[in-house]
Amino acid sequence: MKFNHFFLPFICVLFLINSCNIKEQKNTVEMKQIDSSMLCIGYHWTEAEGRKFLEEKRKEYTTAYDWKKRSELLKAQILKGAGLEKFPEKCPLNPIIGDTRIYDGYQVQNVAFESLPGVFVTGSLYTPLNARENLPGILNTHGHWAELDDYGRYRPDAQKRFAAMARMGAMVFAYDMVGYGQLAQEYGWVHKHPDALKLQLWNSIRSVDFLLSMGADANRIAITGASGGGTQAFLLTAVDDRIAVSVPVVQVSAHFFGGCVCESGMPVHKAENFQTNNVEIAACAAPRPMMLVSDGDDWTKNTPNVEFPHVQYIYGLFNKPELIEYVHLPDDKHGYDYNKRAAVYPFLAKHLGLDLTKAVNPDGSLNENTIVIEDIKALYPFDEKHPFPEYGAKANEDVVWN
């Protein structure tokens, strides 16, 4: 549906305020002034429009060189639209690392580090027992699951994923989106903030720095996440060449652009004389290994016939069509559930050199029975032994970009 210019700015602002699946929080944030005509929000296009866009774009890149030029434009617009055209100076990470909790085949430590002075990224680090040096690193992002019994990276299916990947031999860092986790529950951070996309992308860049600082293999860094976590995965992969393997789950769509301010609240898809969608952004991974995972119940339902063929065509320009894979689960719903984990583990094992037998039984079922699902607060990095620093940013408004 097309709206006239009179109504569009007003509708976009209303959609931005209500689009995230986030329960109302005490703090309210006034939206910054943005040019709403440059935003592509949610179902910005119809399925037919998304398909047509890809068909037309395909004609413009017929060689690997053509695509490289296009991908450089995409990267430049993402960074410009997100306000990261010039990176801030990278401050010391100053990590705060909690005590080690040992489980069957893996261990967990809660972590916080500074992405900007006083701005902490919070998460948990999962590693295999008796870990050797130069482990492959896997960043794990999460989507907009906001109810406390089904929340962010603390969800049971998420914790199973992190632990299984660690058992397979990876250093796994699972981290909170902006305005999630302990900083949201105990301080003043909110997710629906106009700078959420900017800070979230910067936090992901610094999360790569953190994995490398912990000794992860610089040539084997991967990222995966579902829904809004899938958006984080392909945005980071597009702008950071250090990501060697990517698996965006249930999010790459030709017509859906992400419905939250952290995905489409800044002009990363559109500018004067420029337009793209999340399929092209995801394809910036080429020719690095990537898997798309889709289902039949959301905006990825057309992946076998629309999104995957386009991305595969781009990989073909590099003569690397085997490095892009997809798994479509037509009877599944939105999420990173059992079937999706079962699809992703073999792909990561193949491209990162992991031991798949540590996560999958001989009959093909997942080996998750002895994975411990920890309480939310057990995964918070700040406690009496590791207090939140006095100089730390307690709300979004405390962020200072240098």
Q: Classify residue 28 by burial, with Cβ atoms within 10 Å: 0-12, 13-18, 19+.
A: exposed
Specify the 3-state DSSP secondary structure of 233: helix
Output b/e per residue, 120-129; b: 16+ Cβ within 10 A: bbbbbbbbbe
CB 329 within 8 A of CB 293: yes
In this structure, of 11-15, 206-210, 392-396, the range with the lowest mean pLDDT score is 11-15
Given pLDDT bands bounded at 50, 70 and 90, which one contains residue 24? Answer: very low
- Specify whether the CB–CB gap between 250 and 335 falls below 8 A: yes
Please say if the pLDDT value at position 252 is more than 90. yes
- The answer to whether the peptide bond before residue 387 is cis (omega within 30 degrees of 0) is no
Q: Which two tokens stand for residue 292?
A: 């798309």
* Assigned token pair, 210: 């953190």
Q: List the one residue out of 121, 37, 29, 40 whose CA is nearest residue 78.
A: 40
Question: Token pair of 299, please?
Answer: 């905006």
What is the spatial distance between Cα 351 and Cα 371, in angstroms, rounded to a whole number? 24
Measured CA to CA in angstroms, residue 263 lies from 18, 53, 68, 274 at distances of 14, 20, 24, 18
Q: In this predicted structure, what is the pLDDT of residue 18?
A: 43
Q: How far apart are CA 378 and CA 387, in angstroms?
A: 14
Asked if 194 and 31 count as a contact pair (C-beta separation under 8 A), the reply is yes
Mean pLDDT of 382-398: 97
Query: Is the predicted pLDDT of residue 385 greater than 70, yes or no?
Result: yes
- Angle between helix axes 196-213 and 228-239 (nearest 10 degrees) is 70
CA 101 to CA 159: how far, in whole Å? 14
Phi, psi of 305 (to 5 degrees): -110, -15
- Flag whether pLDDT at 26 surpasses 70: no
Query: What is the DSSP secondary-structure string of 156-177?
Result: HHHHHHHHHHHHTT-EEEEEPP
- List the domain boundaries for the chain: 96-263+332-379
**Exposed/middle/buried for 64, CB within 10 Å: 0-12, 13-18, 19+?**
middle
Residues forming beta bridges with residue 116, ordered by sequence position: 119
Tokens at residue 288, please? 């690095």
pLDDT tens, 156-184?
999 999 999 999 999 999 999 999 999 99
- pLDDT at residue 277, rounded to an integer: 98
Q: How far does the chain reach from its first CA to its final CA, in angstroms?
A: 41
CA atoms within 13 A on the CB side of 218: 4
Helices assigned H by DSSP within 30-155 = 47-58, 64-81
Report the alpha-carbon distance of residue 219 to residue 243 in Å, rounded.
8
**Which residues does residue 101 pair with via DSSP β-bridges, in sequence order?**
108
The predicted-structure confidence for 210-243, as pLDDT tens digits, reads as follows: 999 999 999 999 999 999 999 999 999 999 999 9
Mean pLDDT of the chain: 92
CA–chain centroid gap for 285, Å, is 14
pLDDT at 33: 63
Closest listed residue to residue 249, CA positions, set 313, 314, 178, 157: 157
- Pairwise CA distance, residues 334 & 223, whole Å: 19
CATH code for the domain defined by 96-263+332-379: 3.40.50
Residue 12's pLDDT is what? 44
pLDDT in tens, 311-370: 999 999 999 999 999 999 999 999 999 999 999 999 999 999 999 999 999 999 999 999
